[in-house]
Amino acid sequence: SGMEPLLACSGLRRTFGDRVAVEGITFHIDPGETYGLLGPNGSGKTTTIRMIMNIILPDRGEIAVLGRRGTDAARDDVSYLPEERGLYKQMQVRRLLRYYGRLKGRPAKELDPVITRWLERLNMAPWADKRIDQLSKGMAQKIQFIAAVVSQPKLLILDEPFSGLDPVNMELMRDTILQMKREGRTVIFSTHVMAQAEEICEF
C-alpha cells in the first residue's frame, strides 16, 4: 500500500538471565489496525510491549515507531496502559488526567474537552473531582484507561485491559475499543482470553 507501518518489530529477542522471554518476534502494524497479542501469561506479551515502549531494550532485533528507530522514537505519540496498574492515590481524577496529557506534550486547554468527553463516555463524570483513593478498583481502572487515551496517541497499547473488570465494565471497555477502531485509531492489546481477541481484532 506504500503506507509506512506505524510500528515495525523485526527479529526481537530478549532474555532475562538464562530465561528466553521473547524469541524471533516479527510483526508490523499499519495505521488503523487493531492488533491482539494473544498468549498465556508468561508467553512474553508484556516483555514485547515493554520493548516497544522502550522501558527495556531488546538483546537483538529492531523496533521502529512511526518510522523512527532507536530510543528516541516517537514515544509522545504512543500511549501505554500497563497491566500493573498504579495511579497517584491522593490526586483528583481530573487533575490526574491533565497531568498525564501534559506529560505527552498536550496543552491544557486542548485536554479539558477531551477529558470531559472520556469521563462521560465511561460513566465517570460524577467522580471528576474525587480522589483516586475514593474510587473502587473498577473505577480506578477506567480512569487509568482514560489516562492512556487522553493524549490522543497515534498508537495505543493496552496490556490485559479487561483484567479485573466486572462484566458490565468489561463490555463497556470492549465497546470503547471497538469504537476507537471505527474511528481509525491504532490499538494493540494483549490478552490471554481467545474470545476477547476474536471479538475485537482483525489479526
User: Which helix (H) or strand (E) element contains residue 69?
Assistant: strand 68-69
Question: What share of the chain has pLDDT > 70, as a percent?
Answer: 95
pTM confidence score: 0.86
Residue that wins the pLDDT comparison between 174 and 198: 174
- Strands 19-29 and 7-16, sheet pairing: antiparallel
158's enclosing H/E stretch is strand 155-159
At 92, list the grid cell: 483528583
- Phi and psi at 9, nearest 5°, equal -120, 130
The per-residue pLDDT for range 39-71, each reduced to its tens digit, is: 888 788 889 998 988 889 999 999 998 888 866
Q: Taking all residues of the chain, what is their mean pLDDT, rounded to a whole number?
A: 88
Q: In which band, very low, low, confident or very high, does the pLDDT at 95 lie, cut at 50, 70 and 90?
A: very high
